[in-house]
Amino acid sequence: MDMRSKRRTVRSFDLLFSAVAFSILSFNAPSAFAQTSLQPFSANVVRVVDQKTSTGKIYATKNAVRTELKGEGEESISILHLDRNELDILQAARKTNIQVPYIDDTGKSKAEFASYLPGAEIQLKLIGGGQIGPYHCDKYLVQVTCKGQVYSLIEWMARELNGFVVRREGQQQGWSSEYSNVQLGQQEPSLFEVPPDYTTVKYSRDWAGIVQQLMATPNVSKAAAIARAAGLKVEGDDPGLSENGASEPRDDHYSTFFIDPITDTEVLIVSTNVDQFPQPETSPSTHSRDLLTGENVTVRQADAGSYYLLDVSFVIPDVPDLKFDTIEIYGMQIIGKQRSHNMAYPSVHGSWQPKEKAEFSVRVLKEYADPSLGWNLTFCVGSAARCYPSPNLLTLITQNGK
């Protein structure tokens, strides 16, 4: 590993979450009207988006919905507050709540619950019938007009449940939600509250798709163009942003900030550092560069759609008097002596002792995960003063047969 190579590092809140809002309507006849509140219930749910399936639980009260989903290596929890048009995405590992509008000005939300937002109007048309699980259903085309947008849905309303919707799908979109074991009735209020020890980060819209594009774009000028076209503010001292196209920084650190234009909150930070990995110290009896090897680092891989989810476990190096509080995770492609696509993933913070077992997970785009094409993924554990690098994790997956 070249200890003095320049690396473009990416740090951000992980906004790569599954769509987790589901809807429940209770209509009995075609009409046009405004709906005000949900019917409280709980159920098992199967969610399909672009042929990818997630399963879990859904809970609803008068003005809120909680979903807990798991699919393809991912787990997600969200709380939708219909009366405030707010969607909270809970990230348990970081004790962080990402808060975005449920429907924003782009109109891109699938909006299963749009009919319960203030001011929404609904039109229904009976188009047939069918059976969903044990229920005999009437099938309706539903159009919801809300905040200047029109959403078209197809819904199956169970006769045995007085018109409760047990399946919904987008009329022209590749998604569906289907319920089973439906239990009507009031739910525990605490299910719909963000834990008090969570930090809330607010955005004016869901930037997840844009963040994915930015993280996959190593050229900062191209990333800036994508961000500005999407509506983000771009600031920083990266020479790639300057009009003269300078190729080298004036010092050993520079950064680019992608900022929500409404909340003024950083969505993504891209930084470049020289000497990102300090040379570990050695002693006559201990070669520190060998402290993390393929023998004491384990990598397990799970499919997560367009990503691989890597679960990494290892033993903290036996180095006395060194503070271990940070794990930095980096990726790049090396072909011959040429390095490209330098990026870093969200760092992991904690407090570990020498010889203690440590674990973390990282999501890697599949096209960045083939070591035979020169892709590398490594981590460095330690502190700001000194850290110890790992071997290529992508190679360990092959060696361990995971």
Name all domains of the chain by residue range, CATH numbers in brackets.
Answer: 32-202 (2.50.20.10), 208-273 (no CATH), 277-400 (2.60.40)
Q: Is 397 exposed, middle or buried (0-12, 13-18, 19+ CB in 10 A)?
A: buried
Residue 61: alpha-carbon gap to chain centroid: 26
* Mean per-residue pLDDT, 185-192: 95
pLDDT at 21: 32
Q: Taking 70 as the threshold, does the pLDDT of residue 202 lie above it?
A: yes
Q: What is the pLDDT of residue 252?
A: 53
Please, which pLDDT band fits residue 268 given cuts at 50, 70 and 90?
confident
For the stretch 40-58, pLDDT in tens is 999 999 998 878 888 999 9
pLDDT at 6 over 50: no
* Count of alpha carbons within 13 angstroms of residue 286, beta-carbon side: 12
- Per-residue confidence (pLDDT) for residue 13, from 0 to 100: 31
- Whether residue 33 is predicted with pLDDT greater than 60 in this model: the reply is no
pTM check: above 0.85: no
Give the integer Cα–Cα distance in Å for 53 and 303.
12
* Residue whose pair of structure tokens reads 């980060």 in the numeric block: 201
105-118 tens-digit pLDDT: 665 556 788 888 88
Instruction: Give pLDDT, residue 31.
Output: 43
* pLDDT at residue number 286: 38
Could you tell me if 168 and 38 are in contact, meaning their C-beta atoms sit under 8 angstroms apart?
no
pLDDT at 7: 39
Specify the pLDDT at position 283: 37
Q: Residue 293 — φ and ψ, nearest 5°? A: -130, 175
* 284 vs 71, more confident: 71
258 neighbors 214 (Cβ within 8 angstroms): yes
Establish how many alpha carbons lie within 13 A of residue 388's alpha carbon, considering only the half-sphere containing its beta carbon.
23
Residue 99 in tokens: 């808060």
CB atoms within 10 A of CB 20: 23
Q: What gap in Å lies between CA 189 and CA 143, rounded to an integer?
A: 30
When the pLDDT of each residue in the chain is averaged and rounded to a whole number, the result is 78
Residue 256 near residue 234, CB atoms below 8 Å: yes
pLDDT of residue 256: 83
CA torsion, ordered 16, 391, 269, 207, to nearest 10 deg: -10
Q: How many CB atoms lie within 10 A of CB 367?
A: 11
3-state secondary structure the chain: CCCCCCEEEEECCCCCCCCCCCCCCECCCCCEECCCCCCCEEEEEEEEECCEEEEEEEEEECCEEEEEEEECCEEEEEEEEHHHCEEEEEECCCCEEEEEECCCCCCCCCCCCHHHCCCCEEEEEEEEEEEECCEEEEEEEEEEEECCEEEEEEEEEEHHHCCEEEEEEECCCCEEEEEEEEEECCCCHHHHCCCCCCEEEECCCCCHHHHHHHHCCCCHHHHHHHHHHHCCEEEECCHHHCCCCCCCCCCCEEEEEEECCCCCCEEEEEEEECCCCCCCCCECCECHHHCCCCCCEEEEEEEECCEEEEEEEEECCCCCCCCEEEEEEEEEEEECCEEEEEEEEEEEEEEECCCCEEEEEEEEEHHHCCHHHCEEEEEEEECCCCEEECCCHHHHHHHHCC
